[in-house]
Amino acid sequence: MPIEPAAAWKELAAQARARLAEPLPLASRGTLTRLTGLVLEAGGIRAPVGSQCQVRMGEGSEPVLAEVVGFAGDKAYLMPAGDIHGLSSGASVAPAPAFVPALRLGGAPEGDGAAAAGVLRLPMGTGLLGRVVDSQGQPLDHGGPLQDVRAEAMDRSPINAMERDPVRQPLDTGVRAVNALLTVGRGQRLGLFAGSGVGKSVLLGMMARHTQADVIVVGLIGERGREVKEFVEDILGEEDRHRAVVVAAPADASPLLRMQGAAYATAIAEHFRDQGQHVLLLMDSLTRYAQAQREIALAIGEPPATKGYPPSCFAKLPALVERSGNGLNGVGSITAFYTVLSEGDDQQDPIADAARAILDGHIVLSRALAEGGHYPAIDIEQSASRVMHNVVPREHFDLARQFRAVYSRYQKSSDLIQVGAYMAGSDPQLDEAIRLQPGMVAFLQQNMFEAAPMDSSLAAMDQVLHGA
């Protein structure tokens, strides 16, 4: 039933009066006293760690947004989110005003009462679907202001581990090798481990296009800026874009914005999960998130521990990853895929090693396979899904084990076979592996625009092992 114009104006006026009547906290102001590298030092301001501040040279100047990342005595350390050119000693430092959506005629009041200045609050809601935003919730797609959103704080309480449902339901990713041999469960967290240029982003795009999910949240953190538009237009396309939210914090963004982008993408996924929806969270990459934390921690004086990474990096990773998974009492889920860059193709890289321990499985991409034109370049021998035995029937699990055993038997003797040192008939099991090898290699390869449903993937694997 439409709202009468007079009633709508009265409601809008009532909302405006309610906001004016909200008690405003006493503002704390300070001054900029020092700038060293990436860190601003301010005195005279009392602001908690994680709060947002504005640094301004004068009333008419453009403010620089910064976040409090530490303190020492009465000095606060801030990490800027933008360009700091033009700042000098004596600049004003004050808590940033909270994000408040604009009032609309006939719209319900948004927000949840008085918003404390300095508390990070970003837009959430169905108005984000189909949009590309940055780490601060500002649209990047020239689609106009966000509609149907409300300001919500980024700080969220972790879910009690005993109130989460275990992973029991399989999820179809549309990738044949993953469906058959590394079956993913709804609510699982997996890592895509590889060096640079091996096909992590393409495999991530295949999963985004073919995975069954109500909402797709993509966090492009610290990667090349050109990949943002390519991912939206070429990989997601018009068909899937309406159910996707893309949060972009490319490599040229400050370390603060890169970390905030990962947290914002996760918070958006939590918002839709809390509404009972099944969310697919794709984050590229977890390593860039850790590197951003390393830049911030080293800049404020935290000592390095392992390969230059301070201890706070290894504390931040599980805090971010544990926010995904199944929701309270089985309501909603977040199935997450995190890409992990193994520097120099070293699988013992400290971030890769830490991520492997806290995730529910790992898919390793091989540079040797990629160089041979084998895509997706999944190394079946090094990859594992820790929940596969809980989400597939016993017959499927046994068939996958048989495939792995035959494939591994050939790989261990491949050098002898290629130089002609192996005599046929010496090992009947190896003879069988040699006969099945061409079919196995063809089974593991897949075009990036081809979908392989779960049932057809299982049937194809059975055909390779037992077909004529």
117 within 8 A of 151, measured Cβ to Cβ: no
Q: Which of 236, 264, 234, 237 is nearest to 248 (CA)?
A: 264
254: left (phi over 0), alpha (psi -120 to 50) or beta: beta
247: left (phi over 0), alpha (psi -120 to 50) or beta: beta
Q: Which of 417 and 6 is assigned the larger pLDDT?
A: 417
Domain map (residue ranges) of the chain: 30-95, 150-391, 397-467
Q: Does domain 150-391 have CATH number 1.25.60.10?
A: no
Topology of the domain covering 397-467:
Substrate Binding Domain Of Dnak; Chain:A; Domain 2 (1.20.1270)
Q: Report how far residue 296's alpha carbon sits from residue 300's, in angstroms, rounded to the nearest whole number.
A: 6
| CATH classification (class only), 30-95 | mainly beta
pLDDT at 204: 86
**Cα–Cα distance list, 403 to 127, 355, 383, 415 (Å):** 45, 27, 14, 20
Contacts from 228-231 at CB under 8 Å and sequence distance 24+? 228/132, 228/140, 231/201, 231/205
- pLDDT per position as a tens digit, 302-338: 998 888 899 999 999 999 999 999 988 778 999 999 9
Which band of pLDDT confidence, cut at 50, 70 and 90, is reported for residue 13?
confident
- pLDDT per position as a tens digit, 53-94: 999 987 778 889 999 999 988 899 999 988 888 888 899 999
- pLDDT per position as a tens digit, 89-111: 899 999 887 665 554 444 444 44
